Amino acid sequence: MSASSLIPHLVADKVQQFVEEECIPSDALFRAQLGEGAQRWSTYPPIIDQLKARAKKLGLWNIFLSKTHYKEGAGFTNLEYGLIAEQLGKSLVASEVRLTFPPKAGNMEVLAKYGNDVQKREWLAPLLDGQIRSAFLMTERPVASSDATNISLTMRREGDEYVLNGSKWWSSGAGDPRCRVYIVMGKSNPTHQDPFKRQSVILVPAGTKGVTVKRMLSVYGYDDAPHGHAEIIFENARIPASNLVLGEGRGFEIIQGRLGPGRIHHCMRSLGAAEHALEWMITRVNDPSRSTFGKQLNEHGVIIEWIAKSRMEIDAARLIVLAAAHKIDTSDAKGALKEIAEAKVIVPQVSLAVIDRAVQSFGAAGVSQDTPLATMWAHQRTLRIADGPDEVHLQQMGRNENKRAKALQKKLEMQRNKAEALLRQHGIQAKMHL
Amino acid sequence: MSASSLIPHLVADKVQQFVEEECIPSDALFRAQLGEGAQRWSTYPPIIDQLKARAKKLGLWNIFLSKTHYKEGAGFTNLEYGLIAEQLGKSLVASEVRLTFPPKAGNMEVLAKYGNDVQKREWLAPLLDGQIRSAFLMTERPVASSDATNISLTMRREGDEYVLNGSKWWSSGAGDPRCRVYIVMGKSNPTHQDPFKRQSVILVPAGTKGVTVKRMLSVYGYDDAPHGHAEIIFENARIPASNLVLGEGRGFEIIQGRLGPGRIHHCMRSLGAAEHALEWMITRVNDPSRSTFGKQLNEHGVIIEWIAKSRMEIDAARLIVLAAAHKIDTSDAKGALKEIAEAKVIVPQVSLAVIDRAVQSFGAAGVSQDTPLATMWAHQRTLRIADGPDEVHLQQMGRNENKRAKALQKKLEMQRNKAEALLRQHGIQAKMHL
Amino acid sequence: MSASSLIPHLVADKVQQFVEEECIPSDALFRAQLGEGAQRWSTYPPIIDQLKARAKKLGLWNIFLSKTHYKEGAGFTNLEYGLIAEQLGKSLVASEVRLTFPPKAGNMEVLAKYGNDVQKREWLAPLLDGQIRSAFLMTERPVASSDATNISLTMRREGDEYVLNGSKWWSSGAGDPRCRVYIVMGKSNPTHQDPFKRQSVILVPAGTKGVTVKRMLSVYGYDDAPHGHAEIIFENARIPASNLVLGEGRGFEIIQGRLGPGRIHHCMRSLGAAEHALEWMITRVNDPSRSTFGKQLNEHGVIIEWIAKSRMEIDAARLIVLAAAHKIDTSDAKGALKEIAEAKVIVPQVSLAVIDRAVQSFGAAGVSQDTPLATMWAHQRTLRIADGPDEVHLQQMGRNENKRAKALQKKLEMQRNKAEALLRQHGIQAKMHL
Amino acid sequence: MSASSLIPHLVADKVQQFVEEECIPSDALFRAQLGEGAQRWSTYPPIIDQLKARAKKLGLWNIFLSKTHYKEGAGFTNLEYGLIAEQLGKSLVASEVRLTFPPKAGNMEVLAKYGNDVQKREWLAPLLDGQIRSAFLMTERPVASSDATNISLTMRREGDEYVLNGSKWWSSGAGDPRCRVYIVMGKSNPTHQDPFKRQSVILVPAGTKGVTVKRMLSVYGYDDAPHGHAEIIFENARIPASNLVLGEGRGFEIIQGRLGPGRIHHCMRSLGAAEHALEWMITRVNDPSRSTFGKQLNEHGVIIEWIAKSRMEIDAARLIVLAAAHKIDTSDAKGALKEIAEAKVIVPQVSLAVIDRAVQSFGAAGVSQDTPLATMWAHQRTLRIADGPDEVHLQQMGRNENKRAKALQKKLEMQRNKAEALLRQHGIQAKMHL
């Protein structure tokens, strides 16, 4: 059965059923199989492969590439896949199993869109098949990488090779024992006069000499094993020039093409997490054992207002994301710049607020390992930082909106002139003050 | 040219042009013609009639009744008309001229939907033609009327008449010298066992003996002349029983059918006001004469963030309203209960925030008569109260959402059981704690 | 009985009693005596003079000048007088009657502190006696006057006179028929190399030829009669050079000395307004006639939380203001720069939030003339703009706090070095990353 | 040198120096010595004992018991000690070393205040000396323990023993290998007619048969080793009746006496954490390597506003806590109920906001182990839950404030009557509407 033959809302229903009945119940086993200490980075929870097999059988494997832009795609638009992605956000393991998970989905998109045939054969095929994993290496600790022109890892051409020196961090997925390839952004042409043409992207096999995983980073105490977030050191690492993607100086082009649809997925999974948190909250406040001072929690007006606001905020945020997805579908990521930025900023704020209310409704249980809430919150918190902090997006949106100034000044000037003329016609000698 | 033959987005463009080029420039003259003191309630600014004539000529007259529910309608869906209504919110006079203005649009809907032929001939025709005005009398000062069962004005049947005693306030439009009819909700069947069948709606001609406009109310410092908000006293006012709308005890039915589409219009005009405020703000912060400490206002990051947030919040709120309108169109007002409530709560909050930022960017000018901002703000502030305060809507939404509790408890129970079974299968004796 | 012999907290009690039992009950009469239309600016409500006489009799007249800085003072510290000022904020008329009201209190401080003997005799004496009123003319419509170096009204010396040209607005108090003197800030030395020495302050008698009150400004629809806010035009107005205060180029010096204690009074009266709003809110939600859906308002958790937050926020804000007052008392206005700015920014936000909750708890009555709430809110809203908008104060506070950067970098560097040394001592080769 | 002979502000300075120069630099070593996995609960980082020795030498050991209420105290008032406690909040290890750390400080207070001589000799002396640790066992997973009458662990008297059955969780400190005694709240008199006299407190030696540490809980992803948060099971655990504290049925009395000063310490340490976060933030935004788009972070107005707001909010929150401490000192914990509740609610909100801004200014580093920020945030988040969630405190505060209703209604009634009388005197037949 081909996924592309499926009707979108039936797939969304099927995914929801798979997530709720198979993935969520597997989250505890996944955690148990991960274990403690160093083992978390050396083994791979077997439940993942079992669920992957189930997903393949259900025709839900690799359905994330949009039909609009990729021929390998399952045939869904960004909007349709957005609705599917939301379901995945409800389960820790569902993001793994699947189906799709940034940065890996984004990585596959990069290879599908920009890789040559050899690169696709070597890396994309096993990635799509789930045999290997990849990591995208962009951010660097010593510089402010939200401005990508600051990237400082050097790529020096020597004969048929590039020699890489520098470091990367927040290389998500690099902790996974199955991770085989790093997609690395470096500075290959540091003196090019256009600062956006100094960067290139190259494929670095894991285990290459001179490439060391230095340590794993934590997110509010969570190590996010097995994929994890690594700091990786490059010391004279030599990579065949044939591993270059698209061509020298085209790094920006590649990362920009990657951001649009990936952000839709991120946002929709984020809302899935918020929906799941709301489900937990409602369950909690209707638990008769949680009475205080003679009242069940659902009898408190403040709690009911939390539920109402959560419902309302999730619904509003979802519309924003779907509008952005639709804009990408009918235009492209560049044409949907404003809508994507709006979704990128609003969604994590909503999810964090909803999850935090859920935490509060659970009291101490909410911050502990006994609910999925604390883990979810920590993960969502990174979305206000990853791919550029809120503040950078707000400044860009604000400056773009502010470009209307000249036209608006002209319009208000016209209105003022007409108003004064009209007053004069009626014998009133007034002047509009502003 | 019939409005119903028009293509919606062309109408929206035409309305926008009419509002921006003719209505907004007339706002100052409208204010000047209103004058000061008692005269504000006795004369009617001639500019209104001139603009009405223009609107008729442009085919923009009375385009508010939806084609879905009214045969008199101009043929637009609620969603389409919503986009048109947004434009009207930008100008003080545009709401008057038009086209449509609650409570009058709502009043006409009541008559169109529930009035009998005689009533329609007597009142609806001249209302639609703009010759007379109407006012809806529901709220009462002495009781908490957001719970409409509290309404206490008595309607006692005596022969062919009803005798009305009591008082109403916030009778919007009753200050207008052209206001000829009050649509009055009263308690006709105080002992009916169903508290929702004790009320009736009756048409009361302005000037009826025993009906006195006691005083006009202000909104912050505005009197909203010429339509205004009146407190009206009923002392043994005798009204022909034939003026009853729909039938005794059917008051609730009437007011409920009236709320849905009216709220869409309110919300969209509110967003039109917010857009207009944003236009003023952008113009201000790009005014070179407004430099402080060596910087123009548009160079301040905080200001740019205000613009970005305003853009984002308006866009998100508009999607909420349009989604509610679409739900009414494809279902009905009852089916769109949740969506309408979400729009009702979110939109005024967004508009108030955007307008307040605009006020702040203007400094002292912003609170004065020199911009439309302070007036707009005061008007928007009433939307958090009118047709039920935010808190009532939030409690209802919260309680409705909370009805999912049983189903969710069952689902989480299922997931917990499956998770424990899975752990046991893998030899782990664990228990999910929650 | 001399006020200076009074014990501060007894005076505060006495002021509270006077405000609650005499001033608040006079507010309605004050409004009625003001009347409608043009009369609002030509007559002066007689109740004011009656209450002034009462205040004098009670020994509460002119108790605002601090004993720390003024010998004419009643002997209270800024902190003590702050507690008294809070009471005045509860009544519309109390601010008038008294006792003190910016800008008039500030004006008297200017004359007391910087005026020469002739000026004091001519203006300060009748001001202190309440026979005449004054207005401070600083802000100008065409420029961004929150940066006072932008002030553009010209003061050209010609022989024994200064010739004034330009305009001022928000000249508060200039509408009062008893207003006899304007304290005007203008640019006398436009080419002085120090931009803070280009301004002078001069006393302009109301009615001087070439000085015209052009119009009165409104604040959210309120005209604030009888004192009002005027726009005033200067066309070749000739003022005796002897009316110059302190000396040419010393304008900044004068306005700076004026701001500290005045802000304390503003803030404390603002909190008095908030307290009064809270009183109204509590009364409302305990009114049994306000039941909705079978519950009295005080049974709703959301309402109870509003009350709690209002209580908490007012208490916290009051401490901030009193701490600033104490700092002025033990140092001076300059030494209390940070504390005054904190109070200036926090207090109006708290008062606006509290009053807005009260408005919401009253529903439609809250926005009308039937409670003091809407008027209060409009007045408080101006405090976020007057004497510099919030944003200017926040940027200054932020930049001042940021001056600690070098010292903090040095401290964290020291801590990092020590930490690394300690790790090395224990055989751990680690490096602190940040 | 005796601590009690020290002058408070000199002690605060000395503590600050000790924390900044010795404790903070030891935090990294402390973490390294804790290690990974199971070892975290079995060893005890030696750096702690070294710093304890330093603290004793500096005369800073056990200075937390207030002179107002404890003769063992170091002689500081709650206000004075509050200022000292703030410093401790800046370092992970400083809270350990110290000096004082709830729940252990609170535990020592319980023993000092309510223990008999035998109990004091056996437990208090070695606790004060730092040889052993204790844990307070109150909260239970299966019930809503923020209402302490829900507590369900049973204490059945059998001869000279109590038999304990049930479970406790969030037993903070119970993970520490040196923890020797649990102070346990249980239900000893389940049928007592006064629900506040059914509970007793008993001292349970760690390792008692039938008492099992079942598992450790995490706070977000942190285990807070070595003290940790345990879930502990009681199965027929037999405790000598002589271990009962104060007497049967006096559990409430004990926990209430414990809360006041402990909350001051919590709040002040929380503000210490916020100050430390602000220091990190300022350092970050002045780091020249963090330029984006040609600007250093400290040149962004939004960042400067974050710094200003953080400064302002911390200052305001500190005043609230100190006012509460002063109220305890001059009255007692019961008399300071309102002030303590205000501090309890405001402080964590401020600290969380400040720390979150700091996280955001660091980007990805902020959520990781490379700054103290993420750990701090997670810890502060528990303060909105521990000792009763915000919502419970707000409801209590709101209800207490609402008790003024009757008096306020009477006052407003008096003002209304006087106002109407005054209007009548002046010939105006008006009626106040509210």
pLDDT digit string (tens) for chain C, length 434 residues: 344 445 667 788 899 999 999 999 999 999 999 888 788 888 889 998 899 889 888 888 777 665 555 565 567 888 888 888 899 999 988 876 655 444 467 788 889 889 999 999 999 989 888 889 899 999 999 988 878 889 999 999 999 999 999 999 999 889 888 899 999 999 999 999 999 999 999 999 999 999 999 999 999 999 999 889 999 999 999 999 999 999 999 999 998 766 777 889 899 999 999 999 999 999 999 998 888 778 899 999 999 999 999 999 999 999 999 999 999 989 988 899 999 999 999 999 999 999 999 999 999 999 999 999 999 999 999 999 998 899 999 999 999 999 999 999 999 999 999 999 999 999 887 666 66
- Tell me, yes or no, if the two domains C3-101 and C253-402 fold the same way: no
- Note whether A145 and A171 are within 8 A (CB): no
- Ramachandran area for residue B316 (φ above 0: left; ψ -120 to 50: alpha; else beta): alpha
Cα Rg of chain A, angstroms: 25
Cα nearest neighbour of A141 on chain C = C433
State whether residue D133 is helix, strand or coil.
strand
* CA distance, residue C84 to nearest chain B CA (Å): 28
The pLDDT of residue D102 is 44
Cα nearest neighbour of C37 on chain B = B37
**Per DSSP, which regions of B50-95 are E strands?**
none
Put simply, the answer to whether D220 touches A382 (Cβ < 8 Å) is no
Strand A229-240 relative to strand B154-158: parallel, antiparallel, unpaired? unpaired
**CA separation (Å) from C175 to B256, B366, C216, D201?**
49, 20, 7, 71
- Note whether A102 and A265 are within 8 A (CB): yes
Put simply, the answer to whether D305 touches B302 (Cβ < 8 Å) is yes
* CA distance, residue D167 to nearest chain A CA (Å): 15
Cα nearest neighbour of D432 on chain C = C370
DSSP string, C12-46: HHHHHHHIIIIIGGGHHHHHHHH-STTHHHH---H
* CA distance, residue A345 to nearest chain D CA (Å): 13
- 3-class SS letters over B248-316: CCCHHHHHHHHHHHHHHHHHHHHHHHHHHHHHHHHHHHCCHHHCECCECHHHCHHHHHHHHHHHHHHHH
One-letter amino acid identity for A358?
Answer: A
Phi, psi dihedral angles at D302 (to 5 degrees): -65, -40
What span, in angstroms and rounded, lies between the C-alpha atoms of A91 and C381? 47
Q: Which of B139, B305, B361 to mutate to test the interface with D (most CBs of D within 10 A)?
A: B305
Cα nearest neighbour of D26 on chain C = C419
What span, in angstroms and rounded, lies between the C-alpha atoms of D356 and A356? 14
What span, in angstroms and rounded, lies between the C-alpha atoms of C393 and C343? 10
Q: Between vectors from CA B217 to CA B211 and to CA B218, what angle results, nearest 5°?
A: 160
Phi, psi dihedral angles at C20 (to 5 degrees): -75, -35
- Residue D211 C-alpha from the chain's centroid: 26
Give C 304-343 residues with CB within 8 A of chain D. 304-309, 311-312, 315-317, 319-320, 323, 338-339, 342
Sequence ranges of the domains in chain A: 3-101, 134-245, 253-402
- Note whether B62 and B126 are within 8 A (CB): no
- Residue B126, number of CB atoms within 10 A of its CB: 16
- Residue B213 C-alpha from the chain's centroid: 23
Place of tokens 């540490």: D213
Report the candidate in A62, A80, A79, A88 with the shortest Cα–Cα distance to residue A2. Answer: A62
- Note whether D146 and D389 are within 8 A (CB): yes
**Minimum-distance CB partner of D433 among B141, B300, B302:** B141
Residues 6+ apart with CB under 8 A from D322: D79, D82, D83
Between A122 and A428, name the one with better pLDDT: A122
Place of tokens 């309120």: C222
Residues 6+ apart with CB under 8 A from B194: none
- Residue D267, number of CB atoms within 10 A of its CB: 30
Put simply, the answer to whether C432 touches D394 (Cβ < 8 Å) is no
Any chains having at least 3 CB pairs less than 8 A from chain A are: B, C, D
**Minimum-distance CB partner of A302 among C141, C301, C433:** C301
What span, in angstroms and rounded, lies between the C-alpha atoms of D368 and D371? 7
Residue A302: list chain C partners with CB under 8 A.
301-302, 305
The pLDDT of residue D255 is 86
Whether the bond between B103 and the residue before it is cis, its omega within 30 degrees of 0, is yes
Element (H, E) at A162: strand A161-172
**CA separation (Å) from C341 to C104, C314, D301?**
21, 17, 17
**Minimum-distance CB partner of B305 among D141, D302, D433:** D302
* CA distance, residue B430 to nearest chain D CA (Å): 12
What span, in angstroms and rounded, lies between the C-alpha atoms of A49 and A33? 12
What tens digit of pLDDT does each residue of A298-352 get?
999 999 999 999 999 999 999 999 999 999 989 988 899 999 999 999 999 999 9
**Minimum-distance CB partner of D316 among C346, C394, C401:** C346
Report the candidate in B153, B66, B16, B149 with the shortest Cα–Cα distance to residue B328. Answer: B66
Residue C120 DSSP code: I
- Residue B362 C-alpha from the chain's centroid: 27
pLDDT at residue D309 is higher than 90? yes
For the whole model, what pTM was predicted? Answer: 0.95
Q: CATH second-level architecture of B134-245?
A: Beta Barrel (2.40)
Residues in chain C: 434
ipTM of the complex: 0.93
Q: What is the mean pLDDT of residues D294-314?
A: 95
Cα nearest neighbour of C384 on chain B = B360
Find the DSSP H helices in B331-368.
337-362, 364-367
Q: Which of A305, A360, A361 to mutate to test the interface with C (most CBs of C within 10 A)?
A: A305
The pLDDT of residue A433 is 66
What tens digit of pLDDT does each residue of B62-97 get?
776 655 555 655 678 888 888 888 999 999 888 766
- 3-class SS letters over D198-213: CEEEEEEECCCCCEEE
Structure tokens at A364: 């101490």
Q: How many contacts (CB atoms, under 8 Å) link C and D?
A: 209
The pLDDT of residue A146 is 79
Q: Which residues pair with A231 in a beta bridge?
A: A215
Angle between helices A301-330 and D390-402 (to 10 degrees): 130
Put simply, the answer to whether D286 touches C433 (Cβ < 8 Å) is no
Structural class in CATH, domain D3-101: mainly alpha
Put simply, the answer to whether B221 touches C378 (Cβ < 8 Å) is yes
Residues 6+ apart with CB under 8 A from C411: D20, D279
What span, in angstroms and rounded, lies between the C-alpha atoms of C264 and C266? 5
Place of tokens 């419902």: A311
Report the candidate in C235, C233, C237 with the shortest Cα–Cα distance to residue C214. Answer: C233
Residues in chain D: 434
Structure tokens at D279: 């220091």
Structure tokens at D207: 């390792």
Report the candidate in D420, C220, C228, C225 with the shortest Cα–Cα distance to residue B218. Answer: C220
- Residue A228, number of CB atoms within 10 A of its CB: 23
Q: Does A218 touch chain D (CB under 8 A)?
A: yes
What span, in angstroms and rounded, lies between the C-alpha atoms of A166 and A187? 10
What span, in angstroms and rounded, lies between the C-alpha atoms of B168 and B157? 19
Find the DSSP H helices in B184-244.
none
Give D 247-306 residues with CB within 8 A of chain C. 279-280, 282-283, 285-287, 298, 301, 303-306
Does domain D253-402 fall under CATH 1.20.140.10? My reply is yes
Whether the bond between C190 and the residue before it is cis, its omega within 30 degrees of 0, is no
Q: Between vectors from CA A160 to CA A159 and to CA A161, what angle results, nearest 5°?
A: 95
- Residue C187 C-alpha from the chain's centroid: 24
The b-or-e profile of B220-243 (16+ CB within 10 A means b, else e) is bbbbbbbbbbbbbbbeebebeeeb
Residue D290: list chain A partners with CB under 8 A.
143-144
DSSP string, C40-54: HHH---HHHHHHHHH
**Per DSSP, which regions of C174-245 are E strands?**
179-187, 199-205, 211-217, 229-240, 244-245
Residue A433: list chain C partners with CB under 8 A.
141
The pLDDT of residue A2 is 41
What tens digit of pLDDT does each residue of B89-129 get?
999 888 766 555 444 677 888 898 899 999 999 999 898 88
Structure tokens at C339: 């504390």
DSSP string, A201-268: EEEEETT-TTEEEEEEE-BTTB--TTT-EEEEEEEEEEEEGGGEES-TT-HHHHHHHHHHHHHHHHHH
Q: How confident is the model at residue A3 (pLDDT cuts 50, 70, 90)?
A: very low
What tens digit of pLDDT does each residue of B359-393 get?
999 999 999 999 999 999 999 999 999 988 999 99
- Note whether D272 and D348 are within 8 A (CB): no
